[in-house]
Amino acid sequence: MRYTLAGLDCASCAAKIEQELRQIKGLEGVTVNFADQSLELPPELAEAAREAVSRVEPGVTLLQQAGRRPAAAEEGREEKRAPYAIVVAGLLLAVGFIFHPPLHHTPYSWAEYVVLLTAYLLVGGPVIWTAIRNLARGQVFDENFLMTVATMGAIAIHQLPEAVAVMLFYAVGEYFQGRAVNRSRRSIAALLDIRPEYANLKINGETRPVPPEEVAVGQRIIVKPGERVPLDGEVVEGTSFLDTSALTGESVPRKVKSGDQVLAGMINGQGLLTVRVTKPYAESSVARILELVENAAGRKAPTEQFITAFSRYYTPVVVAGAAAVAVIPPMVLPGATFSIWLYRALVMLVISCPCALVVSIPLGYFGGIGGASRRGILVKGANFLDALTGLHTVVFDKTGTLTQGVFRVTRVVPYHGFAETELLALAAHAEAFSTHPIAQSIREAYGREIPPDMVDEYREIPGHGISALVDGKRVLAGNDRLMHREGIVHEICDLEGTGVHVAIDGTFAGYIVISDEVKTDARRAVARLKELGVRQMVMLTGDEETVARRVAESLGLDAYFAELLPGGKVEKVEDLQAALPDRRRQKLAFVGDGINDAPVITRADVGVAMGALGSDAAIEAADVVLMEDAPSKLATAIEIARHTGRVVRQNVALALGVKGFFLLLGVFGVATIWEAVFADVGVALMAIFNATRTLRYRKH
């Protein structure tokens, strides 16, 4: 069950909540998604989790998520309230600055304290209260504690204007940071908000709008022009063009008519459609896509895991360093005064807050996942985005991935006195119950109805073919391996496609050539992957050597392996993984087209299911799902992953570089608290705004 953390507005709070929840039995692996304020929990542990959240962060509420994420209105109210306190505090600080020189050394200096302390409490009161509350719960090293200690230290050494300025600019930074994060959240929500609002349910000739969740399988709905298809189903009346861009990322309209399948999330064009629902809303395409993208942030990239661990140690180390700077130099350096070194220590404390890292990095990855989904590419986690950046080898299945998967009979070659028509008829009867595309093409070429009572003892031999008794004759139809297995002497076939060898009562009767065209997009995919630096591209297939060689050569692949059984494909992928020059950094991806490839997809470092629109098995097995039947989408996924990785690395370098630089300046007395505020608040804002670029990736 998915839950929302209403009021969660800081990344360190998210980390503390996650740490507390992991102490509960059954929630050891729970992950808090700061980017969209959510987490997954078993319903039976929700109450224990709610108490833990309230204990750690009383301002955060755990709510069961029903439909869209709540608290958006509350965020809006917070954004409106915050500026008033900031503006008033700013005016008071300005007054304090203006009258500071004439009042400071007079009996009326108390007026300066009244004005500046009022401003300080106005923007700093919530920070101080939160720091005290956290201290009471044993939580010391957070940004509230750092700001409180730094500003109170400044007050203690009579630096009131700077203390107020730190709190004021911290409040300004938090306000804009909150706005930036909320804007990113709303952008991502809008990006993914393909969830239909209602369904026009048709009952007894009348139509009424109902929530999609209330429509049962088998019921009929009306989809009007311009409306979003609310549930997966089959068109029973009407003709129209559908915009599938929300699911596939491609805006080319798709024509549908009676008997065609439609999927939730598509937008109807000008026609009126009557649709019979085939799946409940929870199992519809749009629901699965939303669930996958929302859950993706739970799988953290190595960079995220490093920053989470790093921030736990970074702040305490800086606080200890600041304490050492305040105490040790006055004791060992001649002429050093405690107030000067305390001021330098306070500068260090202001700089040390790790917000820029802990907020911007998860936001960057979530933006990358959201941006990919807009292009019809579902990435199941930030860890897979990272893996895509290091692809060394891409392995393709052949049929349906690199080729059209639409087979047709191009030649029938009989032997030993059999006629073409007889050979084709017996093969079609033998393939009568097979769902394989090759079997379908043979039946289509035969073109007549096949009486089921003519076929007996039907048996599929995995990786080989079919054995069946047709009108009393034992018919074998399959590949070359089947002939060898059954000890049937057969002719060497001149194939320009896939060959189906046919034997009748132990005698080789001939072969049927099935042609399957290479996809135009497959050539584009290979070219783009080479441009992106993928070192090796390999094809695996169960087809004969000659067919595999022809396809591999036409596409310019580096290697191919033919006549593989399903288990053989897994072994080849394992061999190719073992041969990677740098197993830790370099990754292997396998691209397949669905159910038959699930074992290999699961075994690869990155399993990619292609053309998986509406395929439950492929979506479950794969790490990356290309909703459109286009292998070149993998290259787009790599480009988005690399763009996201660049943004994340920029933020890490920016935050650590600027903070490190100003920490050194602070220790040597060059930087003041004003520079420290920039190093903290300014860098955090820059990193967050930079992170939002992952949402708007454009190929250069």
Q: Which residues are tagged catalytic?
A: 397
Strands, E assignment, 253-407: 254-256, 261-262, 267-268, 273-277, 377-379, 391-397
DSSP string, 664-700: HHHHTT---HHHHHIIIIIHHHHHHHHHGGGGG----
Q: Note the helical H segments in 105-236.
A: 109-136, 143-156, 160-192
Q: Which two tokens stand for residue 417?
A: 């006195």
User: Per DSSP, what are the bridge partners of residue 501?
Assistant: 478, 511
Q: Which positions ≥6 away from 64 have C-beta within 8 Å?
A: 1, 3, 4, 46
Residue 184, CB-side half-sphere exposure with 13 Å CA sphere: 34
Q: Which two tokens stand for residue 181?
A: 């994060």
> Is 541 within 8 Å of 511 (Cβ atoms)?
no
DSSP symbol at 459: E
Q: Which two tokens stand for residue 261?
A: 């399948």
> Is 332 within 8 Å of 412 (Cβ atoms)?
no
Give the relative orientation of helices 633-667 and 355-374 as an angle to the nearest 10 degrees: 170
CA 264 – CA 260 distance, rounded (Å)? 14
Cα of first residue to Cα of last residue in the chain, in angstroms, is: 40
Q: Which two tokens stand for residue 477?
A: 């139809």
> Is 552 within 8 Å of 560 (Cβ atoms)?
yes
Q: Which two tokens stand for residue 500?
A: 């189906």
| Residue 318 CA, distance from chain mean position | 34
Sheet with 254-256, edge to edge strand ranges:
254-256, 240-243, 267-268
> Is 247 within 8 Å of 201 (Cβ atoms)?
no
User: Per DSSP, what are the bridge partners of residue 180?
Assistant: none
> Is 168 within 8 Å of 116 (Cβ atoms)?
no
Q: Which two tokens stand for residue 93?
A: 């600080």
